[in-house]
Amino acid sequence: MKHAHLAAVAAISITAALSANSAQAEDLTLCWAAWDPANALVELSKDFEAQSGHKMSFEFVPWPNFADRMLNELNSGGQLCDLMIGDSQWIGGAAENGWYVKLNDFFDANGIKMDDFIDATVTGYAEWPKNTPNYWALPAFGDVVGWTYRKDWFERPEIQTAFKEKYGRDLAVPKTFAELKDIAEFFQKREIDGKTVYGASIYTERGSEGITMGAMDVLYSFGFKYENPDKPYDMEGYVNGPGAVAGLEYYKALYDCCVAPGTSNTYMSEGIDAFKSGQVALQMNFAFTWPGFETDMDVGRGKTGYFANPAGPDGEQFAQLGGQGISVVAASSKQDAALEYIKWFAQPDVQAKWWSMGGFSCLKAVTLAPDFPQSQPYAQTFLDSMAIVKDFWAEPSYATLLQDAQKRFHDYVVAGQGTSQEALDGLVADWTETFEDEGKL
């Protein structure tokens, strides 16, 4: 009982500290995207309200409009948001434009150590410049592109037999992208339970970031690099090298062979719908979708399996990072109270509860706990995936860089214009122009 007593004392101390820090109760507004994890955070935050006396309000914007709406808010110096859970790619612009409060001194004063968080999330969500100890956010929601599959279909004896007859190997979770394509082709237009099903749901959305997140998720493992590791912004032969070209050709081939009709503009929500409705055998999507599948009436209860992004032809294995950090908005007049929220949110017991509610904690005390891999059917896949992440440019000009990628990838993969080499050569030209305009080249 000693530990329980200590925990109780600690909880009282934390409550007292939070209360002492709040000279007056304030209304705080937290801004984020409108999705299931945000609903879980509303519930979690009731504990903060009870402890601190502050009242939490929330502004949630659907993903397709999230960046435009919130970046406009930050850029205009608006005071709608006291706390922002902003996308990982915003961190460069937010730091350089003074939109977020730098958190180093606050972390030091409160014993919050970035070493306690998954390394990739610190780099991806908190740091600017990258790989320097300059922190503008606390890692809040770990996310990564991975795959779900219809485990119940894979386990059917007649399907296993048919697959082995065709491919000479057992039907199992793919270890390589080549194996994944075989599986997608095998299920494409197959009849299961009297219904025609399709191979895979992949990202093809043109308007925001969808097809870039999907294509990059494949290109990394084929050898794509954003720049020469020894010479920043030197992209020739890295963005458009032979491996990257082969990777984009693969992504188009997967689109051409193995998706459902009418899926030329799909992203997260369309993938969720396709998988839950039994339309596809494989689905590319961010990890945030996984808790919802486990509780779904049609694909829950053991029918869904999870696997990390497979390896490319040379054995390289990476995955596209998603997720966000939580920041204090520099224009807020309630920064002290907002910092209290971050201090509360960083606590190990709060992070453990966050995971149990469907939030993806980035705290090592949670994710490296001995019982974590057994805590959810997807927990080990989350760990495996977070160990291999890469992220898109986090440059202040990321929005322009992203628009270029969206157009080049969609024109080639979905519209069938030109070749993979031409698409990536064009992307190098686009990105070079942006960096030249900024004086970085």
Every domain range in the chain assigned CATH 3.40.190.10: 27-143+322-390, 145-320
So what's the pLDDT on residue 24? 81
Cβ proximity of 88 and 323 under 8 Å = yes
Topology at the third CATH level for domain 27-143+322-390: D-Maltodextrin-Binding Protein; domain 2 (3.40.190)
The size of the chain, in residues, is: 441
> Measured between alpha carbons, how far is residue 26 from residues 50, 57, 212, 335 in Å?
13, 11, 40, 11
Q: How far apart are CA 149 and CA 274, in angstroms?
A: 12
Give this prediction's pTM: 0.93
Name the CATH superfamily for 145-320: Periplasmic binding protein-like II (3.40.190.10)
So what's the pLDDT on residue 23? 55
- pLDDT tens string for the chain (441 positions)? 434 333 333 343 444 444 444 458 999 999 999 999 999 999 999 999 999 999 999 999 999 899 999 999 999 999 999 999 999 999 999 999 999 999 999 999 999 999 999 999 999 999 999 999 999 999 999 999 999 999 999 999 999 999 999 999 999 999 999 999 999 999 999 999 999 999 999 999 999 999 999 999 999 999 999 999 999 999 999 999 999 999 999 999 999 999 999 999 999 999 999 999 999 999 999 999 999 999 999 999 999 999 999 999 999 999 999 999 999 999 999 999 999 999 999 999 999 999 999 999 999 999 999 999 999 999 999 999 999 999 999 999 999 999 999 999 999 999 999 999 999 999 999 999 999 999 999
Helix (H, G, I), strand (E, B) or coil at 105: helix
Hey, what's the torsion of the CAs at 386, 275, 66, 80, to 10 degrees? -90
So what's the pLDDT on residue 411? 98
What would you measure as the largest C-alpha separation in the chain, in angstroms?
A: 72
Are β-strands 190-192 and 138-150 bridged in parallel, bridged antiparallel, or unpaired?
unpaired
So what's the pLDDT on residue 160? 98
Q: How far apart are CA 312 and CA 7, in angstroms?
A: 47
Dihedral over Cα of 167, 170, 172, 177: its sign: negative
Cβ proximity of 28 and 55 under 8 Å = yes
Axis-axis angle for helices 36-52, 2-21 (nearest 10): 80
Q: How far apart are CA 199 and CA 182, in angstroms?
A: 9
Q: What angle do CA 359, 364, 367 make, to 5 degrees?
A: 55
